[in-house]
Chains A and B, each alone.
Chain A
Amino acid sequence: MPLDNKTWFQKGVKDGIPIALGYFAVSFTLGITAKNAGLTALQAMLASFTLNASAGEFAGFTLIAAGASYLEVAIMEFVANARYLLMSCALSQKIPSDTPLLHRLIIGYDVTDEIFGISIAVPGKLNPFYTFGAIAIAVPGWSIGTYLGVVMGNILPANIVSALSVGLYGMFIAIIIPPARKSKIIAGIVAVSMAASFAFAKLPLVSNISSGVRTILLTVVISALAAYFFPVKEESSDET
């Protein structure tokens, strides 16, 4: 039963609510960083509204605080956000091939870990309006949270921030575990990915690699190995 665009949009808003709440908490702490970098609340909100990238913004604000050059900031953003390049490639195959340019431009505005996660988890092809719905609620949460983080500083108790910041990871887990239950291959890939990520974070030498670069490296290597050894059968990737 094909759903219409309005229903998809509403589903997106609903699934976007936990994302918006998590974003609010994370961007609140991001606002504190922006303030320390010398940005006003409005500038910080503008940065969040135009970037929608936690690691990218955090790294950017840190460089701004250090008075880095524009080129350094540009390179930093590329490294911190390069994983979105892969996600965007994956999404390009998830949307119908006749998706209009405008819809592609809007999806591209907010390819974040979370929006990507729920969009790619939709069974079959992705109706862009689902993603639009999630964006419509997530972006205000992200932008306003940043604004309030600058204005209110450390008002929110530390244990509330701590609890909220785990919500985003909870969502990632909710996305990867159900398919892992159905497929031993995906379960194995998830386990290997976590183990490799842990090793890269803790072992000497490789632990100096930033988390953004680590994410890209491991994603490319593990996904390529998985694709080589366990190619996806055509019918399973064509479910609509």
Chain B
Amino acid sequence: MKHNPYIYILVMAVVTYLIRVLPLTLIRKEIKSPFIRSFLYYVPYVTLAVMTFPAILDATGSPISGLAALIVAMLIAWFGGSLFQVAVIACAVVFVLELFIC
């Protein structure tokens, strides 16, 4: 390694922290613009949906188990499963399926 690992870590940490903390500290008031309010209201749903699919298909040993976990998790969440239940059952689906298909 040519460079100092601690400076690498410092650079990464500073950049990442500034990205996260600037909006939280600079935007002190409620935003009035209906468009920006609506935009920020929709941001989490879009971001989380985009990050989940199709990445979940590549997260596991096989796309089939990933897809099965996605479908089961959606069904359980739809019918009122808690955060913890959905997460654990998704893991269990993958574990059991991969015992058979891998």
Binding site for B on A (CB under 8 A): 15, 17-18, 21-22, 38-40, 43, 46-47, 50-53, 56-57, 60, 64, 67, 69-70, 73-74, 77-78, 81-93, 95, 97, 101, 104-105, 107-109, 111, 113, 116-118, 120-121, 158-160, 162-181, 186, 189-190, 193-194, 196-198, 201-202, 211, 214-215, 218-219, 222-224, 226-228, 230-232, 234, 237
Known: A17-B84, A162-B61. A81 touches B15 (CB 8 A): yes
Known: A169-B69, A197-B49. A116 touches B44 (CB 8 A): yes
Known: A86-B47, A170-B69. A47 touches B9 (CB 8 A): yes
Known: A163-B92, A219-B46. A178 touches B24 (CB 8 A): no
* Residues of B in contact, count (CB < 8 Å): 81
State the majority secondary structure of interface residues on A: helix
Chain B, 65-102, contact with A by CB distance < 8 Å: what is the 0/1 string?
11001100110111011111111111111110011001
Residues of B within 8 A of A109 (CB): 17, 20-21
Task: Give bound CA distance, A67 to B29, whole Å.
Answer: 43
Q: In the complex, which of the residues B9, B23, B25, B42 contacts A223, with contact meaning CB atoms closer than 8 Å?
A: B42
Q: In the complex, which of the residues B6, B36, B50 contacts A43, with contact meaning CB atoms closer than 8 Å?
A: B6
A-B contact pairs, 19 of them (CB 8 A): A21-B87, A47-B9, A64-B8, A74-B12, A77-B15, A78-B19, A84-B19, A89-B40, A91-B24, A104-B21, A159-B102, A162-B60, A163-B92, A166-B66, A167-B88, A173-B52, A173-B77, A215-B47, A215-B50
Summed over the interface, the residue pairs from A and B with CB atoms below 8 Å come to a total of: 304
Residues of A within 8 A of B16 (CB): 50-53, 56, 77, 81, 84
| Closest 6 A/B residue pairs (Cβ) | A108-B21, A170-B90, A177-B77, A227-B38, A193-B49, A50-B13
Residues of B within 8 A of A164 (CB): 91
Q: In the complex, which of the residues B22, B41, B52, B59 contacts A232, with contact meaning CB atoms closer than 8 Å?
A: B41
